[in-house]
């Protein structure tokens, strides 16, 4: 596969990290979780139940983009990142035009809300899900996936990837 950044995007709880890890295991392409690039202030704000603003996100998005620019030289990579708005995606693809593939996990609000209620290992509280859906701008240039099953989702992504 050519050097690409596979951005797995969507609202919190849609399965970005799970799909990213599974896709990585299947392909050998390294996976990185965009949450790991958040500054401590962003994490604390979300833990306190406050939605992030655009201003909160700019440095985080720039850090992910710089990492992608630095790492793509080594080969393809998978990054999970909410990338809710088009302007966020423009930051994420800066200097990487033509080298990004957007994979949008698009699941039902009620299903995601149930998932968020059941998980205990994440800083994002379920109360912020509505704000994520409000901010979400459906990407026009993405593979849209509505599968719930990890295996099916990964198979759909694999079928969409360019062949070497």
CATH number of the CATH domain containing 127: 3.40.50.300
What's the structural domain count of the chain?
Answer: 1
- In sequence order, what are the residues at sequence separation of 6 or more whose Cβ sits closer than 8 angstroms to the Cβ of residue 3? 72, 73, 75, 76, 99
Region 36-62: mean pLDDT is 90
**DSSP string covering 45-83, please?**
HHHTTPPPPHHHHHHHHHHHHHHHHHHGGGS-EEEE---
43 found inside a domain = yes
9 found inside a domain = no
Q: How far apart are CA 74 and CA 141, in angstroms?
A: 25
Structural domain including 77 reads: 27-160
77 found inside a domain = yes
Contact 85, 98 (CB under 8 A): no
pLDDT at site 32: 98
Match 């809710």 to its residue by tokens: 84
Report the predicted TM-score, pTM, of the whole model to 2 decimal places: 0.90
**More confident call, 112 vs 91:** 91
107 found inside a domain = yes
Give percent of the chain above pLDDT 70. Answer: 95
Q: Over the stretch 9-30, which tens digit does the pLDDT of each residue have?
A: 998 888 899 999 999 999 999 9
């Amino acid at each position: 596969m050519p050097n690409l950044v596979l951005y797995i995007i969507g609202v919190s709880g849609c399965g970005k990290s799970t799909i990213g890890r599974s896709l990585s295991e299947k392909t050998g392409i390294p996976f990185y979780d965009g949450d790991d690039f958040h500054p401590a202030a962003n994490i604390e704000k979300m833990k306190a139940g406050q939605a992030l603003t655009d201003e909160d996100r700019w440095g985080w998005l720039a850090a992910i983009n710089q990492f992608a620019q630095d790492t793509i030289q080594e080969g393809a990579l998978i990054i999970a990142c909410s990338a809710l708005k088009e302007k966020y995606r423009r930051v994420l693809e800066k200097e990487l035009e033509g080298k990004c593939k957007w994979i949008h996990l698009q699941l039902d609000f009620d299903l995601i809300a149930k998932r968020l209620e059941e998980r205990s290992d994440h800083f994002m509280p379920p109360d912020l899900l509505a704000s994520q859906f409000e901010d979400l701008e459906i990407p026009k240039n993405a593979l849209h996936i509505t599968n719930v099953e990890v295996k099916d989702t990964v198979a759909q992504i694999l079928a969409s990837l360019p062949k070497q």
